[in-house]
Structure 1
């Protein structure tokens, strides 16, 4: 049975206005129905496509609807006519539509390439498993089927969003890209192009481009080739937990009758009545696996951990089931792990003398101790060949990092790919991750960082310089034993503001550490020996496998200080609030951004979301544990149409809704 929520009805009643969506105006449009001139643009919609190579006209998805079939080595040249936009010198805001099908997954298939010379890798693929995306944005969690028609929409605003929709529904919320980066457009876009043969045969019945991002409602209005499913699946069954040594194995039974569904697993120290209050163990577990291993870690020493569990099903269309709860607790021992020191090393000097780190926990990354793991194909002869002892500390304003690296042969040279030298990639999420888990890198209030330490400098994302050798950075070889030493002091303000200084999206929040915060971390330690090329990626997380630079879900975690939860009596930013309160946004009406302020009487898990008048979520502004006090968040609606919207806060038992108006 199709259902409409009380929340949606509330919006409709409050607004007393009905908005109807219609297909948005295209900048370029090609339907391939003219068999004699298939590459002609629809009248009034841009320039004709130009063919490089060969193609053929074939039957499309409907009677009197043609398509084109184009294979490896051939491509179309699209002169789209869109002026530079999105705050850069290139086209940073656009939407592409492809009505397509493929017949095999034997190779890769490419939708487009932004390099007009065809000298680079493609920028949107179907991989050999049938998932859609590219490593930089991540791939869709579900594969497509061969010999079926689909409508793919890729809606991009660099600095703000990179979203994939399939048949009118959000398919993958990808990693946001920087302004004027690889994913911005020149005046020429290559369609179905790849420089090294990863552009296998594909059929296309319609192609279109817009000079802006489309809303979810506009994308829905474009139609689909498959019925849109709005029916929730049944709950998973037979949820049980099997304790092991420093781990729990969670098992369940998949929902019968579903195909392509995934499962989300949650846990909590308290009985779970609302998964929003629980911690995320694993998202998007594929069908038929029916189990997840939970590593049990505790701060500093081995401790008993007691958890409750829940699992829910998300079907192929994105509908969620009611969770299956296991509210009989499971107690098992957690392995004590080193934490981030909550105070700075005494008398810190970046000089390669690590004596001031004596009271900071050692993060020992050694294969012999089972705390270091080789990525696939690595050459590793043991701890004397390569091992790392690292240290982490914070104060109110800075992150402190040190490493004592044992490396039998040190190798470094100037190069564009510094991770191929002897260097350390350090990954950290500067937010409390108790109720937040991401499969892709995020920015804003929950930023992920990959920080590279090498002989030349400290960088984030391999490009933005944080530190050079000097007062706050030391990188040098040991005097008496093989290897090298690192010491660094990095300002939280610099981390937030120096990364992609021209980035047009929400800037990273400046981190304010609090003891008990759960912090995502990992290391990929690069070992380049006599060959001068990297021979080993040595990892802290057993799940890394040289993939942590793409997927934060593969990282481990630790805590700040010796506590595993933030003190509920802790005080956050601003003054202590006398009660809970949601303020009216200001300015209102607004264009394109406005500020929303709210107050928390006690520390709470806070969600703050924005919805349109039909109850569809358009933005999640906050979804994290926050301390008591006053908080302010910025809402940028540059990618939304004018109209009435609503913002809803939920913090513990406190809920409130207010209306805001966007006028462009």
Structure 2
């Protein structure tokens, strides 16, 4: 560009060097009656690496992501051990995936750096994978034609002890309100649920969870089992209503509390965390235990609900309007939000 009002009236503009080497050019200035003037230009270069995202925030509903890398040097990537590369495109776009986690958080960095050790150029992209406690399975039993239908998660499996009672049937009954139905669990029968909870890293079973039952019993003086962790249905149930007056809730490892009356609907939350077990009735905390007994750990394949071992001949049928499962141990603050208690 010729700048007429300046003594140094030739302005030369060059583009950024995106190559991985110096580049040179010769500019020839010609004028009538004068010898040509050659101007030699040498442009250095700077190693450059960039990513299209400054950070990544992920959860269990978002387990895949992409990252586009632009660079003028050969590079390599270092990934957290829980991030896996799936593929890449010619334009530098990479796809990644990771596995779901139990409630909590893990953090790491994707580091993209030059392969040549003489270059210190690198980019760090923080990766945060965060999962909150949430309801992951729920059944309301409002459809009499399908008493295993889920509102969240997977369908239940009905299990009948036909050897004990060949005519045992799960039946639809009235629930706690006119718009709400319930299911009557027959004697010596139960549901099996695929709860969908992911074990904590390094664990094979699930140690932290919450079970919810909206239930009604017809009489006291009988046992009513809420759940069983042994999928072979051997041994005692984990938490049940005892055949006493008053009818209390618990098991030997937790102790017993409460006073369940027949013919009345209750909303029971059983919150489990090793060393911190809480029972809530209608949103109110009514029992705690410091037990860390491994009997309460759920099998990753599922859990037996509303039933116990076949040998219990003193059990009784009862009505259930809702069963829900959370993938973590709910707290008193959670009860305030869920049940509206002060």
TM-score by length of 1: 0.29
Contact 2:208-2:327 within 8 A present in 1 as well: yes
Deviation at residue 146 of structure 1 after TM alignment: 1.1
Aligned to 1:144: 260
Structure 1: 5+ residue stretches without partners:
1-23, 231-664
Contact 1:70-1:202 within 8 A present in 2 as well: yes
CA distance in 2, matches of 1:222, 1:200: 30
Aligned to 1:72: 187
2:334 matched to 1:218?
yes
Deviation at residue 137 of structure 1 after TM alignment: 0.7
CA distance in 1, matches of 2:323, 2:202: 26
Aligned to 1:163: 278
Aligned to 1:120: 235
CA distance in 2, matches of 1:39, 1:60: 16
Deviations 1:52-88 (A, max 9, x none): 1221100000012000011321000101111112863
Among 112, 116, 135, the alignment partner of 2:252 is: 135
Q: 3-state SS of the aligned residue for 1:205?
A: strand
Contact 1:136-1:175 within 8 A present in 2 as well: no
2:142 matched to 1:27?
no
Aligned to 2:325: 209
2:172 matched to 1:63?
no
Deviation at residue 133 of structure 1 after TM alignment: 0.4
Deviation at residue 219 of structure 1 after TM alignment: 2.0
CA distance in 2, matches of 1:200, 1:220: 32
Aligned to 2:298: 185
Deviation at residue 25 of structure 1 after TM alignment: 3.0
Q: 3-state SS of the aligned residue for 2:215?
A: strand
Q: 3-state SS of the aligned residue for 1:222?
A: helix
Deviation at residue 216 of structure 1 after TM alignment: 1.0
CA distance in 2, matches of 1:115, 1:71: 20
Deviation at residue 188 of structure 1 after TM alignment: 1.5
Among 36, 40, 44, the alignment partner of 2:145 is: 36
CA distance in 2, matches of 1:58, 1:86: 42
Q: 3-state SS of the aligned residue for 1:131?
A: strand
Q: Using the TM superposition, name which of 194-203 and 56-65 deviates more.
A: 194-203
User: Could you say if the C-alpha distance between residues 139 and 87 of structure 1 is closer, same or farther in structure 2, counting changes exceeding 3 Å?
Assistant: farther
Aligned to 2:110: none
Among 154, 171, 177, the alignment partner of 1:47 is: 154
Aligned to 1:396: none
Structure 2: 5+ residue stretches without partners:
1-132, 161-168
Provide the aligned length of Structure 1 versus Structure 2.
198
Contact 1:115-1:190 within 8 A present in 2 as well: yes
CA distance in 2, matches of 1:199, 1:39: 22
Q: Which has the higher contact order (CA 8 A, sep 6+)?
A: 2
CA distance in 1, matches of 2:218, 2:202: 40
Q: Which runs of 4+ in 1 moved over 3 A?
A: none
Contact 1:86-1:157 within 8 A present in 2 as well: no
Q: Which has the larger radius of gyration?
A: 2
CA distance in 1, matches of 2:269, 2:327: 13
TM-score by length of 2: 0.55
Aligned to 2:61: none
Pairwise CA RMSD: 1.9
User: Could you say if the C-alpha distance between residues 87 and 157 of structure 1 is closer, same or farther in structure 2, counting changes exceeding 3 Å?
Assistant: farther
Deviation at residue 217 of structure 1 after TM alignment: 2.0
